[in-house]
Amino acid sequence: MTTPTPVFPTGFRWGVSTSAYQVEGAAGTDGRGPSVWDTFAHQPGRIADGSTGDVACDHYHRYAEDVALMAGLGVDAYRFSVAWPRVQPAGSGPAEPRGLDFYDRLVDALLARNIDPVATLYHWDLPQPLEDAGGWLVRDTAHRFAEYADLVAARLGDRVRLWITLNEPFVHLSFGHGLGTHAPGRQLLFDAVPVAHHQLLGHGLAVAALRARTSSPVAITNNYSPVRILGHTGTDTDTGSGSGSGSGSDADRAAGAAYDALHNRLFTDPVLGLGYPPGLGPAPELVRDGDLATIAAPIDVLGVNYYNPTGVRAPEEGSPLPFELVELDGYPRTAFDWPVVPDGLRELLVGLRDRYGDALPPIEITESGCAYDDEPDADGRVHDPERITYLDGHLRAVRAAVDEGVDVRGYFVWSVLDNWEWAEGFTKRFGLVHVDFDTLARTPKSSYAWYRDVIARSRQDSA
């Protein structure tokens, strides 16, 4: 980088993120029950390297060491998720006190270091007994989620600084229930739409439960991806702000609009009081009186996760989907083979502001990060210049959006630790801190020092 990363306004929240199943380990410890990810990961052929999250980073036992690493970064906040089966092993009934005790210890350790606890209630680890009873395909799961939210807020509501109900419900819908590449492994395609409604209903019911227990702000976190329309020649490209409109054929534009509605609008329009996107809502018999009002309960923050735009064009005849996804060429790639497009984040943020106007609450970037093949050198140091370039570019994109009038109030790097990366197992490293998955030794990477310095400089220059 030739110029320093831009500074941000006073009060901008700097953070890092993880999720329970990806870092905690301690499966079966202190009363924790099985989740859909425990079941899925133990099925042969599901995970790229055959690993599981049984141990992961052992954050459950090493949280104090990890909180010390966060304090060394100087972050304002740690976004973690609460493992539902650790709190309610059966997905219903009274809380398992040992599970809540762990989150008590974690929250107190964070506050002792002046780090805001940001708690996500659901990061995809549904208790297996609820899945056995129908999972998110049945309405009852939404009510069980609200009861679980109440239990957690009753214990932690006086200290958690921001609550997030759901993480990336679109990804959980599409990968977990539509395509079957994530837990619980259902392959329902568009027959999975009830999962969307029940997740959203669970969100709305959880908002009410949280409001009854705490005055802290409440959010939902969605994964967003600006749509780039590509014609079948591969040369007709649109870089719009996610509307699905562009310079391709009418069929390509229709495909872009369909994908945009599914990925970007399905879990945002209803939350902001606009109802379901036309043609994409669940069957009328699933939506009971009062459901849309419950889903549209006001939120204080919209969590935005961004990794890359999505290329879309009209599908081939006979396709079961109304769009075809197309690789975006001409960009650097991460180890996940995702294109690195920092300006897509600015495009997304401005697009959200333009689409929703006054209905849009303040935004926090709750995940932003990249996977690269980082390994220690002969001296034990871990250099990751590609990650530094990535984060620098995305922070510049956020600053550009702020300069265009978008109300963005925080940025959380995914992730503070190398972790267990879902279906990819231990093969993809996103961390600012390298984890040796044999010894569990932590080694801060060069990006850790870079992020620490960016935070310190921004605070100093904005004071």
Residues forming the annotated binding site for substrate?
A: 22, 123, 167, 307, 414, 421-422
- Reading the block at residue 158, the tokens are 């006086």
- Reading the block at residue 50, the tokens are 């055959």
Please name the residue that has the structure tokens 């709190």. Answer: 87
State the catalytic residue, choosing from 24, 347, 367, 386. Answer: 367
Whether the Cβ atoms of residue 24 and residue 60 lie closer than 8 Å to each other: yes
Helices 97-112 & 140-156, crossing angle to 10 degrees? 50
As annotated, the binding site includes 22, 123, 167, 307, 414, 421-422
Secondary structure letter of residue 70 according to DSSP: H
Distance CA 113, CA 134 (A): 42
Q: Which value, to the nearest 10 degrees, does the dihedral of the CA atoms of residues 151, 153, 154, 155 take?
A: 90
Whether the Cβ atoms of residue 426 and residue 420 lie closer than 8 Å to each other: yes
Per-residue burial over 365-374, b if 16 or more Cβ lie within 10 Å, else e, is bbbbbbbbeb
Active site residue 168: yes
State the catalytic residue, choosing from 24, 96, 168, 386. Answer: 168
Peptide bond into 184 cis (omega under 30): yes
Residue of 461, 414, 456 lying closest to 433 (CA atoms): 414
In angstroms, the Cα distances linking 390 to 43, 72, 223, 249, 414 are 34, 21, 18, 33, 12
Strands of 156-243, DSSP E: 162-167, 218-224, 227-229
| DSSP bridge pairs for 414 | 17
Catalytic sites, residue numbers: 168, 367
